Amino acid sequence: MASHRRLKQPSRTRVTVLTTAAAAAVALSANAANAAPSEKLGKDEVKAKVDKLYEQAEQATEKYNGAKEKQQKLQKEISTIQDNVARGQQELNKLRDGLGSLATAQYRSGGIDSSVQLFLSSNPDDFLDKASTLDQLSSQQVEALKKIQDKQRELAQERAEAAEKLKDLAATRTELGNKKKEVQGKLADAQKLLNSLTAKEKAELAAQQQRADRSSSERVNLGDAPPASGRAEAAFQAAQSQIGKPYVYGATGPSSYDCSGLTSWAYAQAGVSIPRTSEAQANAGTRIYDQSQLKVGDLVIFFGDYHHVGLYAGNGQVLHAPHTGAVVRYEAMSNMTFEFGVRI
Protein backbone atom coordinates (compact mmCIF):
# COMPACT_ATOMS: atom_id res chain seq x y z
CA MET A 1 0.00 0.00 0.00
CA ALA A 2 1.38 3.35 -0.97
CA SER A 3 2.43 5.63 1.84
CA HIS A 4 0.47 8.85 2.16
CA ARG A 5 2.94 10.45 4.61
CA ARG A 6 3.12 14.20 4.11
CA LEU A 7 6.48 15.50 2.85
CA LYS A 8 8.27 18.02 5.07
CA GLN A 9 8.21 21.55 3.55
CA PRO A 10 11.53 23.41 3.42
CA SER A 11 11.78 26.40 5.71
CA ARG A 12 11.15 29.87 4.30
CA THR A 13 14.73 30.93 5.05
CA ARG A 14 16.13 27.99 3.14
CA VAL A 15 13.89 28.70 0.15
CA THR A 16 15.05 32.33 0.09
CA VAL A 17 18.72 31.38 0.18
CA LEU A 18 18.31 28.79 -2.57
CA THR A 19 16.36 31.20 -4.75
CA THR A 20 18.97 33.95 -4.32
CA ALA A 21 21.80 31.57 -5.11
CA ALA A 22 20.02 30.28 -8.20
CA ALA A 23 19.36 33.81 -9.44
CA ALA A 24 22.98 34.78 -8.94
CA ALA A 25 24.13 31.70 -10.82
CA VAL A 26 21.82 32.53 -13.73
CA ALA A 27 23.08 36.15 -13.80
CA LEU A 28 26.70 35.07 -13.78
CA SER A 29 26.07 32.59 -16.57
CA ALA A 30 24.31 35.24 -18.65
CA ASN A 31 27.12 37.74 -18.10
CA ALA A 32 29.73 35.18 -19.00
CA ALA A 33 27.84 34.29 -22.15
CA ASN A 34 27.39 37.92 -23.22
CA ALA A 35 30.84 39.22 -22.25
CA ALA A 36 33.25 39.66 -25.08
CA PRO A 37 36.53 37.86 -24.56
CA SER A 38 39.16 40.29 -23.23
CA GLU A 39 41.75 41.18 -25.76
CA LYS A 40 45.16 42.43 -24.84
CA LEU A 41 45.94 45.74 -26.51
CA GLY A 42 48.99 45.80 -28.72
CA LYS A 43 51.92 48.12 -28.10
CA ASP A 44 50.83 50.62 -30.77
CA GLU A 45 47.26 50.70 -29.46
CA VAL A 46 48.49 51.31 -25.93
CA LYS A 47 50.77 54.11 -27.14
CA ALA A 48 47.89 55.77 -29.01
CA LYS A 49 45.67 55.65 -25.91
CA VAL A 50 48.49 56.86 -23.67
CA ASP A 51 49.22 59.76 -26.01
CA LYS A 52 45.55 60.74 -25.90
CA LEU A 53 45.54 60.61 -22.11
CA TYR A 54 48.67 62.74 -22.01
CA GLU A 55 46.96 65.30 -24.22
CA GLN A 56 43.92 65.34 -21.92
CA ALA A 57 46.22 65.66 -18.92
CA GLU A 58 47.88 68.67 -20.55
CA GLN A 59 44.48 70.29 -21.13
CA ALA A 60 43.68 69.82 -17.45
CA THR A 61 47.17 71.05 -16.54
CA GLU A 62 46.59 74.42 -18.20
CA LYS A 63 43.31 74.78 -16.29
CA TYR A 64 45.18 73.83 -13.11
CA ASN A 65 47.83 76.45 -13.89
CA GLY A 66 45.13 79.08 -14.39
CA ALA A 67 43.47 78.25 -11.07
CA LYS A 68 46.83 78.31 -9.29
CA GLU A 69 47.70 81.71 -10.79
CA LYS A 70 44.30 83.08 -9.78
CA GLN A 71 44.76 81.74 -6.25
CA GLN A 72 48.11 83.47 -5.87
CA LYS A 73 46.70 86.72 -7.24
CA LEU A 74 43.71 86.63 -4.88
CA GLN A 75 45.93 85.90 -1.88
CA LYS A 76 48.03 88.99 -2.67
CA GLU A 77 44.93 91.16 -3.18
CA ILE A 78 43.35 89.95 0.06
CA SER A 79 46.57 90.60 1.97
CA THR A 80 46.73 94.16 0.57
CA ILE A 81 43.10 94.86 1.47
CA GLN A 82 43.54 93.49 4.98
CA ASP A 83 46.60 95.72 5.47
CA ASN A 84 44.57 98.70 4.23
CA VAL A 85 41.73 97.87 6.62
CA ALA A 86 44.14 97.64 9.54
CA ARG A 87 45.69 101.01 8.69
CA GLY A 88 42.25 102.51 8.09
CA GLN A 89 41.03 101.33 11.48
CA GLN A 90 44.01 103.01 13.12
CA GLU A 91 43.22 106.24 11.29
CA LEU A 92 39.59 105.97 12.35
CA ASN A 93 40.59 105.47 15.96
CA LYS A 94 42.81 108.59 15.80
CA LEU A 95 39.97 110.62 14.30
CA ARG A 96 37.61 109.50 17.06
CA ASP A 97 40.24 110.26 19.70
CA GLY A 98 40.69 113.70 18.16
CA LEU A 99 36.97 114.43 18.27
CA GLY A 100 36.81 113.18 21.83
CA SER A 101 39.59 115.58 22.76
CA LEU A 102 37.64 118.45 21.20
CA ALA A 103 34.56 117.49 23.18
CA THR A 104 36.57 117.20 26.38
CA ALA A 105 38.13 120.63 25.89
CA GLN A 106 34.72 122.09 25.15
CA TYR A 107 33.25 120.47 28.25
CA ARG A 108 36.02 121.86 30.44
CA SER A 109 35.33 125.31 29.09
CA GLY A 110 31.64 124.81 29.78
CA GLY A 111 30.71 124.88 26.12
CA ILE A 112 29.76 121.25 25.38
CA ASP A 113 26.25 120.96 24.06
CA SER A 114 23.69 118.18 23.79
CA SER A 115 24.49 117.57 20.14
CA VAL A 116 28.08 116.55 20.91
CA GLN A 117 26.85 114.36 23.75
CA LEU A 118 24.50 112.75 21.24
CA PHE A 119 27.42 111.97 18.93
CA LEU A 120 29.51 110.46 21.69
CA SER A 121 26.75 107.97 22.52
CA SER A 122 25.50 107.05 19.00
CA ASN A 123 26.48 106.49 15.38
CA PRO A 124 27.95 109.60 13.70
CA ASP A 125 26.10 108.70 10.50
CA ASP A 126 22.82 109.06 12.34
CA PHE A 127 24.04 112.25 13.91
CA LEU A 128 25.02 113.90 10.64
CA ASP A 129 21.59 113.07 9.22
CA LYS A 130 20.13 115.42 11.78
CA ALA A 131 20.89 118.58 9.83
CA SER A 132 19.21 120.78 12.40
CA THR A 133 22.00 120.11 14.88
CA LEU A 134 24.90 121.03 12.56
CA ASP A 135 24.68 124.71 13.40
CA GLN A 136 25.37 123.84 17.04
CA LEU A 137 28.79 122.38 16.17
CA SER A 138 32.02 124.17 15.53
CA SER A 139 33.43 123.97 12.01
CA GLN A 140 36.30 121.90 13.43
CA GLN A 141 33.88 119.35 14.87
CA VAL A 142 31.88 119.18 11.64
CA GLU A 143 35.06 118.47 9.66
CA ALA A 144 36.10 115.79 12.14
CA LEU A 145 32.70 114.11 11.95
CA LYS A 146 32.75 114.08 8.16
CA LYS A 147 36.21 112.52 8.12
CA ILE A 148 35.03 109.82 10.51
CA GLN A 149 31.97 109.14 8.37
CA ASP A 150 34.06 108.88 5.17
CA LYS A 151 36.57 106.58 6.84
CA GLN A 152 33.78 104.32 8.15
CA ARG A 153 32.28 104.03 4.67
CA GLU A 154 35.72 103.29 3.19
CA LEU A 155 36.41 100.57 5.75
CA ALA A 156 32.99 98.98 5.25
CA GLN A 157 33.59 98.88 1.49
CA GLU A 158 37.05 97.34 1.88
CA ARG A 159 35.78 94.72 4.33
CA ALA A 160 33.00 93.78 1.91
CA GLU A 161 35.52 93.52 -0.93
CA ALA A 162 37.77 91.30 1.20
CA ALA A 163 34.83 89.04 2.07
CA GLU A 164 33.96 88.59 -1.61
CA LYS A 165 37.55 87.81 -2.53
CA LEU A 166 37.76 85.26 0.28
CA LYS A 167 34.71 83.49 -1.17
CA ASP A 168 36.32 83.57 -4.61
CA LEU A 169 39.54 82.21 -3.11
CA ALA A 170 37.69 79.29 -1.52
CA ALA A 171 36.03 78.43 -4.84
CA THR A 172 39.37 78.73 -6.65
CA ARG A 173 41.04 76.37 -4.17
CA THR A 174 38.28 73.84 -4.81
CA GLU A 175 38.77 74.19 -8.57
CA LEU A 176 42.53 73.81 -8.12
CA GLY A 177 42.05 70.59 -6.18
CA ASN A 178 39.65 69.20 -8.77
CA LYS A 179 41.98 69.96 -11.69
CA LYS A 180 44.92 68.42 -9.84
CA LYS A 181 42.89 65.23 -9.32
CA GLU A 182 41.90 65.24 -12.99
CA VAL A 183 45.52 65.53 -14.13
CA GLN A 184 46.65 62.83 -11.72
CA GLY A 185 43.76 60.60 -12.81
CA LYS A 186 44.70 60.86 -16.50
CA LEU A 187 48.34 60.14 -15.73
CA ALA A 188 47.36 57.17 -13.55
CA ASP A 189 45.19 55.76 -16.35
CA ALA A 190 48.11 56.14 -18.75
CA GLN A 191 50.41 54.33 -16.33
CA LYS A 192 47.93 51.46 -15.98
CA LEU A 193 47.94 51.04 -19.75
CA LEU A 194 51.72 51.05 -19.82
CA ASN A 195 51.82 48.51 -17.00
CA SER A 196 49.70 46.15 -19.12
CA LEU A 197 52.58 45.81 -21.59
CA THR A 198 55.16 43.08 -21.43
CA ALA A 199 58.68 43.94 -20.31
CA LYS A 200 59.84 43.71 -23.91
CA GLU A 201 57.08 46.06 -25.14
CA LYS A 202 57.85 48.57 -22.37
CA ALA A 203 61.52 48.55 -23.35
CA GLU A 204 60.64 49.10 -27.00
CA LEU A 205 58.38 52.06 -26.18
CA ALA A 206 60.99 53.56 -23.87
CA ALA A 207 63.66 53.23 -26.55
CA GLN A 208 61.29 54.81 -29.09
CA GLN A 209 60.68 57.78 -26.75
CA GLN A 210 64.41 58.17 -26.08
CA ARG A 211 65.15 58.22 -29.80
CA ALA A 212 62.47 60.87 -30.34
CA ASP A 213 63.85 63.01 -27.48
CA ARG A 214 67.45 62.61 -28.60
CA SER A 215 66.89 63.29 -32.28
CA SER A 216 64.60 66.24 -31.56
CA SER A 217 66.87 67.69 -28.90
CA GLU A 218 69.89 67.82 -31.17
CA ARG A 219 70.49 70.93 -33.22
CA VAL A 220 68.11 70.70 -36.15
CA ASN A 221 68.12 72.72 -39.36
CA LEU A 222 66.37 75.88 -38.21
CA GLY A 223 66.93 77.81 -41.41
CA ASP A 224 67.71 81.50 -41.39
CA ALA A 225 64.47 82.96 -40.01
CA PRO A 226 65.18 86.29 -38.25
CA PRO A 227 64.24 86.76 -34.58
CA ALA A 228 61.03 88.63 -33.84
CA SER A 229 62.98 91.07 -31.65
CA GLY A 230 66.05 91.24 -29.45
CA ARG A 231 64.02 90.07 -26.44
CA ALA A 232 62.36 87.30 -28.44
CA GLU A 233 65.80 86.09 -29.47
CA ALA A 234 66.97 86.21 -25.84
CA ALA A 235 63.87 84.23 -24.77
CA PHE A 236 64.52 81.62 -27.46
CA GLN A 237 68.16 81.24 -26.45
CA ALA A 238 67.09 80.80 -22.83
CA ALA A 239 64.67 78.07 -23.89
CA GLN A 240 67.41 76.38 -25.92
CA SER A 241 69.50 76.12 -22.75
CA GLN A 242 66.74 73.98 -21.23
CA ILE A 243 66.68 71.32 -23.96
CA GLY A 244 66.58 67.87 -22.36
CA LYS A 245 64.77 69.01 -19.19
CA PRO A 246 61.72 66.81 -18.39
CA TYR A 247 58.07 67.76 -18.77
CA VAL A 248 56.28 67.92 -15.39
CA TYR A 249 52.75 69.32 -15.07
CA GLY A 250 52.57 72.63 -13.22
CA ALA A 251 56.35 73.13 -13.40
CA THR A 252 57.94 76.47 -14.30
CA GLY A 253 61.63 75.55 -14.13
CA PRO A 254 64.46 75.50 -13.87
CA SER A 255 64.64 71.72 -13.38
CA SER A 256 61.40 70.83 -15.24
CA TYR A 257 58.60 72.49 -17.18
CA ASP A 258 55.16 72.16 -18.65
CA CYS A 259 54.51 73.87 -21.99
CA SER A 260 53.49 77.32 -20.76
CA GLY A 261 55.93 77.06 -17.86
CA LEU A 262 58.78 76.90 -20.38
CA THR A 263 57.60 79.85 -22.48
CA SER A 264 56.86 82.10 -19.48
CA TRP A 265 60.24 81.20 -17.92
CA ALA A 266 62.10 81.85 -21.20
CA TYR A 267 60.58 85.31 -21.64
CA ALA A 268 61.22 86.12 -17.98
CA GLN A 269 64.94 85.51 -18.65
CA ALA A 270 64.67 88.17 -21.37
CA GLY A 271 63.12 90.62 -18.92
CA VAL A 272 59.58 90.23 -20.26
CA SER A 273 56.64 89.13 -18.10
CA ILE A 274 53.96 87.15 -19.97
CA PRO A 275 50.92 85.31 -18.55
CA ARG A 276 51.33 81.87 -17.01
CA THR A 277 48.88 79.79 -19.05
CA SER A 278 48.86 78.95 -22.76
CA GLU A 279 45.31 80.29 -23.10
CA ALA A 280 46.34 83.65 -21.62
CA GLN A 281 49.55 83.70 -23.66
CA ALA A 282 47.39 83.39 -26.78
CA ASN A 283 46.19 86.93 -26.02
CA ALA A 284 49.53 88.38 -24.92
CA GLY A 285 50.53 90.00 -28.21
CA THR A 286 49.85 90.34 -31.93
CA ARG A 287 48.42 87.22 -33.55
CA ILE A 288 50.04 85.85 -36.71
CA TYR A 289 47.94 83.36 -38.67
CA ASP A 290 50.32 82.86 -41.57
CA GLN A 291 53.10 80.40 -40.64
CA SER A 292 55.40 81.93 -43.25
CA GLN A 293 55.31 85.21 -41.28
CA LEU A 294 56.52 83.66 -38.02
CA LYS A 295 59.88 84.75 -36.60
CA VAL A 296 62.19 83.04 -34.12
CA GLY A 297 60.95 83.54 -30.56
CA ASP A 298 57.30 84.05 -31.48
CA LEU A 299 54.91 82.04 -29.33
CA VAL A 300 53.13 79.31 -31.28
CA ILE A 301 49.66 78.26 -30.12
CA PHE A 302 48.31 74.78 -30.90
CA PHE A 303 44.87 73.11 -30.82
CA GLY A 304 41.45 74.73 -30.80
CA ASP A 305 41.32 75.26 -27.04
CA TYR A 306 44.87 76.74 -27.00
CA HIS A 307 46.08 74.15 -24.50
CA HIS A 308 49.61 73.92 -25.91
CA VAL A 309 52.28 76.53 -26.62
CA GLY A 310 55.91 76.61 -27.72
CA LEU A 311 58.50 78.96 -29.22
CA TYR A 312 58.98 79.20 -32.97
CA ALA A 313 62.45 77.91 -33.84
CA GLY A 314 62.50 78.49 -37.61
CA ASN A 315 62.10 76.14 -40.59
CA GLY A 316 58.69 74.88 -39.43
CA GLN A 317 60.08 73.78 -36.06
CA VAL A 318 58.87 74.58 -32.55
CA LEU A 319 60.89 74.38 -29.34
CA HIS A 320 58.59 73.18 -26.57
CA ALA A 321 57.91 70.96 -23.56
CA PRO A 322 55.70 68.34 -25.24
CA HIS A 323 54.02 66.11 -22.65
CA THR A 324 54.56 63.78 -19.71
CA GLY A 325 57.33 61.31 -20.42
CA ALA A 326 59.13 63.62 -22.87
CA VAL A 327 61.71 66.38 -22.52
CA VAL A 328 62.12 69.93 -23.82
CA ARG A 329 62.95 69.50 -27.50
CA TYR A 330 62.45 70.65 -31.09
CA GLU A 331 59.52 69.24 -33.04
CA ALA A 332 57.92 69.75 -36.42
CA MET A 333 54.89 72.01 -36.13
CA SER A 334 53.12 69.72 -38.59
CA ASN A 335 52.86 67.11 -35.82
CA MET A 336 50.29 69.29 -34.06
CA THR A 337 47.29 71.43 -34.96
CA PHE A 338 48.63 74.95 -35.50
CA GLU A 339 46.26 77.81 -34.60
CA PHE A 340 48.38 80.96 -34.78
CA GLY A 341 51.56 82.63 -33.59
CA VAL A 342 51.79 85.43 -31.04
CA ARG A 343 54.41 88.15 -31.29
CA ILE A 344 55.22 89.57 -27.87
Exposure string over 17-46, b if 16+ CB within 10 A, otherwise e: eeeeeeeeeeeeeeeeeeeeeeeeeeeeeb
Closest CA to 326 of 236, 210, 242, 238: 210
Other CB atoms within a 10 A radius of the CB of residue 84 amount to: 15
The span from the CA of 218 to the CA of 207, in Å, is: 17
Distance CA 284, CA 265 (A): 15
Coil/strand/helix, residue 252:
strand
Are the C-beta atoms of 197 and 235 separated by less than 8 Å?
A: no
Q: Which residues contact 292 (CB under 8 A, 6 or more apart)?
A: none
Residue count of the chain:
344
Q: For this structure, is 320 an active site residue?
A: yes
Which stretches of 274-327 are DSSP H helices?
278-281
CA-wise closest residue to 298 among 250, 242, 338, 243: 338
Report the alpha-carbon angle 331-336-340, nearest 5. Answer: 100
Is residue 259 part of the annotated active site? The answer reads yes
Distance of alpha carbon 296 from alpha carbon 233, whole angstroms: 7
Q: Which residues are catalytic?
A: 259, 308, 320
